[in-house]
Structure 1
Amino acid sequence: MNVLRRIGSRTGMALWLLGVWLLLWGRADAATVLSGIAVALGAYAVTRLPTVPFLTRPRPIRLAQALAVFGWDLLVSSVVIGRHALWRPGRVRGALVHVRARSRSDVVLLAVTTSMSLRPGTLVLDVDWERSLFLIHGMPVADPADAESVKHDLLATERRLLRAVGEPEPEEPA
């Protein structure tokens, strides 16, 4: 079973490379697809590309819910940041917030990092992958309650993504 899992993981990365190749060329004719496959195989031959972890239990409804909440978060944070940018921009304060995630899954942590960085007002500055520790710049942050809200948002996003990919929720961090 490990061989099948490894082949599936490598196939995922090869398909990702092929997709990027097709986007770069802007077309998907036979020559472009075949040359993209050759490039992906060549990249695997000369480097140790990471494998894409194989998700065995994705939950489409939970994933759709996570995407819907992400879309809502984008809308709300855009309005909040836009309001602060137009009304008294000199009074907007930010803060650096450390958050320890509960997951050890690279897929989930990467998705959380991307989700948080794409939202206006938050930016993941650093991730300690070994300890699942995030350093986030959040704004507007006027008091410790706002900083706690940034932490809560990251942990809620992580929880939704854990449910979406079918991974069990880990214990609370120490």
Structure 2
Amino acid sequence: MNRNARRAASRVLMGVWLLGIWLLLWGRIDALTVAGGAVVVAGAYAASRLPAVPLVRRIRPLRVAAVIAEFAWDLLVSSVVIGWHALYRPRQVRSGIIDVDMRSRSELILLGVTTSISLRPGTILIDLDPDRTVLRIHAMPVRSRAEADSRRAGVATTEERLMRAFVTWEDAPPEEDDR
């Protein structure tokens, strides 16, 4: 599927989604409500130039379940670590600003990574350089270069998990087989 076809499909899917929201708001489905919703969706696209939503080439459900389970585990561990540091010598907790190079070129994967790391206690996204796909994060506790490297590796692991679960058009070569 070429880029223009993906963009068109993305816009059609977003239009269907917006039409569905419109119908839910009205609470009924009839010809006039659907036609009015289609006009509103077309007007919204024309007025706001809504961006195309990135499409996923393939979703691997078992890997998605693993991503969710690993995120829950990461959330639990980071909560315990931050809680421990908040109670035990909170003034001595050191933090750091860490740059993480991302492999993915998919906006969807980058969104997943940034959301995931921002939801974990002790880590927040400060800046994203979209041209170089570099995340700049604030992480704590970081007392040494080894801990900074560990945090960097954790973000790379999150990205790898998401790339395995959601195969995107930007990251997968066109000749990839469906194993």
Normalising by the smaller structure, the TM-score range is: 0.7 to 0.9
- What corresponds to 1:100 in structure 2? 101
Q: Identity of counterpart residues, as a percentage?
A: 51
Aligned length: 166
Task: Report the TM-score, using the length of structure 2 for normalisation.
Answer: 0.79
Quote how far apart the aligned CAs of 1:83 are: 1.2
Alignment of 1:57-136 (within 5 A): 57-136=58-137
What runs of 5+ residues in structure 2 fail to find an aligned partner? Answer: 174-179
Alignment root-mean-square deviation, CA: 2.7
Task: Report the TM-score, using the length of structure 1 for normalisation.
Answer: 0.82
- What corresponds to 2:147 in structure 1? 146
Quote how far apart the aligned CAs of 1:64 are: 1.1
Q: Secondary structure at the match of 1:99?
A: strand
Letter of the 1:51 partner, please give it.
A
- What corresponds to 1:8 in structure 2? 9
Asked if the contact 1:77/1:119 (under 8 Å) is kept, the reply is yes
What runs of 5+ residues in structure 1 fail to find an aligned partner? Answer: none
Q: Which has the larger radius of gyration?
A: 2
Quote how far apart the aligned CAs of 1:142 are: 1.1
Residue-by-residue CA offset, 1:23-54 (whole Å, 9 max, x unaligned): xx9x67228x8677654432202122111112
Quote how far apart the aligned CAs of 1:6 are: 3.1
Quote how far apart the aligned CAs of 1:169 are: 7.0
Residue-by-residue CA offset, 1:44-79 (whole Å, 9 max, x unaligned): 021221111121211111111111101111111111
Alignment of 1:28-39 (within 5 A): 29-30=27-28, 39=40
- What corresponds to 2:164 in structure 1? 163
Residue-by-residue CA offset, 1:60-119 (whole Å, 9 max, x unaligned): 111111111011111111111111112211111110001111111111111111111111
